[in-house]
A = this chain, B = another copy of it.
Amino acid sequence: MDTYSQIVVASRPTGTPTSKNFRVETGPIPAAADGQVLLRTKYLSLDPYMRGRMNDAKSYATPVSIGGIMEGEVVAEVLKSKHPDYRQGDLVQGRIGWRTHAAVEPTDLKRVETGGNPATTALGVLGMPGFTAYSGMKVIGQPKPGETVVVAAASGPVGSLVGQLAQLSGARAIGIAGGPEKCAYMRDELKFDAVIDHRADDMPEALAKSCPDGIDVYFENVGGPIWQAVLPLLNRYARIPACGLIAHYNGPGAAEQDSLSSTMLAMVRRSLLMRGFINTEFVDDHYDDFMRDLIPLVACGHIRYREDIVDGLNNAPEAFIGMLSGRNFGKLLIRVS
């Protein structure tokens, strides 16, 4: 790979993004100035939050401008260093976006440290998605032995760890995902106590059957019809860490028709706790514990994870669009070089 590529936002999507909302741009590989490092991206992480960055709307982060490089975290190799702390061949991670190379000051980079686990885990189970699961459960969910924990998108990088952490706390873990293949994986590999296919017509009934004692923790990363199925089952004092709502990201749709009233009334009548969060707010207090706890569990295979790796930066838009409708199976990564 001798030329540089980057993917920019060509236009703002209305509803589900299409390939026309993205544009591939190519050019010469940049050079590192003094104090900079030249990076070659090895893996780009694709995550649902990126959909929000494509909107021109107020959120916890500013949107990507039209013509701006799509945001995203990568694992990259230092090709050339003009900074005293780095040298050729170092593996780093950072939010440099959807591009093959970048010449940057290393201020916002950190070395990949996965304790002997594969470098890709720095973008998944030992990275932002893993920490989202870990901190949301530790700070907000707080599952207790014998309680029932439900999570959707449960074969994905956040959900799969939520379920396994729930079981490590002595709770029952119920996973929801789309299709028999993901459900089989959750049952056979991740060892969820029960699995629910959200594409099945009887999803609400199947969920109710799997939760005879109700739901004590619902880790919310989906919303829409799954939230509606969860709502009547939530026990008094249930906790709802909410880090994402992939069913709502593409704007008005079936999810938009849901009644606010039933959710609010349930919150009040059952003393529910809902707390939106983004993993970064818990970094100072919990990131060191996360790495200390998780690295050995991942290394010995006690915590399992699955990656869905697509080759080539040019395929990132299509893979990203597919992820928003659940076509990925495991942590979605683009192998860039």
Q: Which residues of A contact B (CB under 8 A)?
A: 52, 58-60, 220, 223, 227, 236, 242-245, 248, 252, 255-256, 258-261, 263-278, 281
Which of B227, B269, B272, B281 contacts A264, CB < 8 Å? B227
Flag if A264 contacts B248 (CB, 8 Å). yes
User: Using Cβ atoms and an 8 Å threshold, which residues of chain B touch A276?
Assistant: 266-273
Q: How far is the CB of A139 from chain B (nearest CB, A)?
A: 11
Q: List 20 A-B contacts (CB under 8 A).
A: A52-B269, A60-B236, A220-B264, A223-B261, A223-B264, A242-B264, A242-B268, A245-B264, A248-B261, A252-B261, A255-B260, A256-B259, A258-B261, A263-B263, A263-B264, A266-B276, A271-B276, A272-B274, A273-B273, A273-B274
A236–B58 Cα distance when bound, in Å, is 11
User: Using Cβ atoms and an 8 Å threshold, which residues of chain B touch A243?
Assistant: 268
User: Using Cβ atoms and an 8 Å threshold, which residues of chain B touch A244?
Assistant: 268
Closest 5 CB pairs of A and B: A267-B276, A258-B260, A268-B276, A260-B260, A59-B269
User: Using Cβ atoms and an 8 Å threshold, which residues of chain B touch A269?
Assistant: 52, 58-60, 276
A276–B267 Cα distance when bound, in Å, is 5
